[in-house]
Structure 1
């Protein structure tokens, strides 16, 4: 795929969908964006607003539409459609509202763009990705949930800030549910090539203190943002645009996306949750196994159990 010749679709022109379309244009990810909304006026308003910035950026066309047929020649389609969490509402509490929307959306996309790679950022993303995999006729590797990519970015940012290094050198992953049962994999965390447990931390800071604070901060970050501005949009839209860019450029980057777990994780191979994978032009090109401590394994099993219960509740 050539990103300069690529067309990307966005399903939903709400707060998150509009932010995704804007991020795609701002980051110069593709040459054309199709922005779909059931109400075309909404799609037009958001598209025209973004269009006004294009003379200051790389050239990009934006097509507002209320017809799924306009996705027919898209290489990648980002799904943002569905109800957003209200203040204090967990992602899993959105499931009953969004499960049927996901099924109908996937059927439409299978009809008009059966070969496109789908990137799902609707919540609860892990369960909705599992529903998409179950519903779709396309191969599983072409369906990617955003998983814990944003959670991982949050931890890396805060950790890098605390110990005063580049955030890109804070090599630590968050896995499991994108939500209240997420698991930070401290046991394999590296600062550059140095294990975190052997890294010299700032005076007055201990690893135990970091662990206790970061677990809660990571899980509550979205709630804190929601309380202040009504919901998240910028972080997750950048995640979506980065995943699209990685696919189009065939970069083979590692992201903790929503996938079915391999047998090594011992949590059941039908459960879908955030785990490290290599992403490229074929979508999910390889699933990776990250060694876990006993505590982390227990946390992942708990996360899988909660997600499986949620999935079964809407089947």
Structure 2
């Protein structure tokens, strides 16, 4: 795709949708942003506030809308719409409320923008991505969810701080559900090309203690942020910007996004969860199979079972 004529649509002008739009404008990731919300005045308020920054930044256009037709010809459409988690709720607790919203949204997007790449951000992202794939008539490589990209970024940054190395040198993935059953694939973790198991650990801690501490920190991070400020939006907005950039620039970067699992993972071909994929102008160019030890395989199977049960609990 040519970034000079790029257009990104965003469904939902709430906290996440507005922050995604703002980040796209701040970072100059595309030429046109369409911020869609059923309540036009809400989309207008958010879009106009962001628009006021454009004279001080790179020239772009942000269009508020409550008409799906304005999303036609979008390169990418980011879906953030849905009921927000309340304190004490897990991401799966809000599934039933958001499932029907997702179905009706995807049907409209199939009507007006059948060739756009759809990026699902709404939670619970894995099950809602599965619903989107089942609902849509477009090629499956054109639909994926934000998965565990943010969880992986959180882990890499915090682990890098603990080991006193740059986060760019921390190569480790969080996979599975974007939620309570996610886990770290420690067996394939590298620090600057050195296996984590062989990397010098700071005094006063063991490798096992660090692994347990940072897996727990990563799993609870979103809840801890929401308890303090009511929601999370800045982190996921930058995740979306990076995925948009990888698509528009055909960068072929690897991200752990929500996709139907490759048969080599051994968890069935229908379940959708966070797994490493090459992201390009095609959307999902290729899914990669991450090596796991037997313990990690069990954790993956447990995560898949949980997500399957959640999906099957719906009236599909």
**1:205 CA displacement:** 2.3
Question: In the alignment, which residue of structure 1 is the partner of 2:60?
Answer: 60
TM-score of the superposition, structure 1-length normalised?
0.99
Shift of 1:203: 1.3
Name the counterpart of 1:166. Answer: 166
Gaps of 5+ in 1: none
| Secondary structure at the counterpart of residue 258 of structure 1 | strand
Structure-1 residue corresponding to 2:114: 114
Matched, 1:206 2:206: yes
> Cα deviation per residue 1:256-302 (whole Å; 9 max; x = unaligned)?
00001111110001000000000000000000001101111000000
Partners of 1:167 and 1:57 lie apart in 2 by 28
Which contiguous aligned blocks of 4+ residues in structure 1 show a shift greater than 4 angstroms? none
Aligned pairs for 1:286-301 within 5 A:
286-301=286-301
Is residue 235 of structure 2 the alignment partner of residue 235 of structure 1? yes
CA–CA separation in structure 1 for the residues paired with 2:311 and 2:175: 18
Distance 1:218 1:231 in 2: 16
1:129-168 matches, within 5 Å, as 129-168=129-168
- What is the match of residue 186 of structure 2? 186
For the aligned residue pairs, the C-alpha RMSD in angstroms reads 0.7
Q: What's 1:101 paired with?
A: 101
CA–CA distance in 1 between the matches of 2:29 and 2:231? 25
The answer to whether 1:22 aligns with 2:22 is yes
Q: Report the number of matched residues.
A: 315
How far did 1:146 drift?
0.3
What stretches of structure 2 of length at least 5 have no aligned partner?
none
Deviates more, 1:134-143 or 1:50-59: 50-59
Say which SS state the counterpart of residue 181 (structure 2) adopts: coil
Aligned counterpart, 1:250: 250
- TM, length-normalised to structure 2: 0.99
Q: CA deviation at 1:84?
A: 1.1
Moved more, 183-192 or 197-206: 197-206
Residue 22 (structure 1) shift: 0.6
CA–CA distance in structure 1, aligned partners of residues 56 and 163 of structure 2: 36
Task: List per-residue Cα deviations over 1:99-150 (Å, max 9, x = no partner).
Answer: 0000000000000000000000000000000000000000000001000001
- CA deviation vs aligned residue, 1:57-116 (integer Å, no higher than 9, x gap): 111100000000000111100000001111111000010000000000000000000000
Report the Cα distance in structure 1 between the residues aligned to 2:262 and 2:134, rounded to whole angstroms: 17
CA distance in 2, matches of 1:59, 1:103: 35
Whole-Å separation in 1 of the counterparts to 2:64 and 2:232: 23
**Which residue is 1:266 aligned to?**
266
1:15 deviates by: 0.4
Task: Give the distance between the partners of 2:290 and 2:154, measured in 1 at CA.
Answer: 19
Instruction: Give the superposition deviation at 1:4.
Output: 2.4
For residues 211 and 88 of structure 2, the distance between their equivalents in structure 1, rounded to whole angstroms, comes to 24
SS state of the match for residue 221, structure 1? helix
Q: Please report how far the alpha carbon of residue 6 of structure 1 lies from its aligned counterpart in structure 2 after TM superposition.
A: 0.2
Equivalent residue, structure 2, for 1:302: 302
1:165 Cα deviation from its structure 2 partner? 1.1
How far residue 199 of structure 1 moved from its aligned partner, in angstroms, is 0.6
CA distance in 2: counterparts of 1:11 and 1:206, whole angstroms: 45
Q: Deviations over 1:166-189 (max 9, x none)?
A: 111100000000000001000000
Paired position in structure 2 for 1:37: 37
Q: Which residue of 2 aligns with 1:88?
A: 88
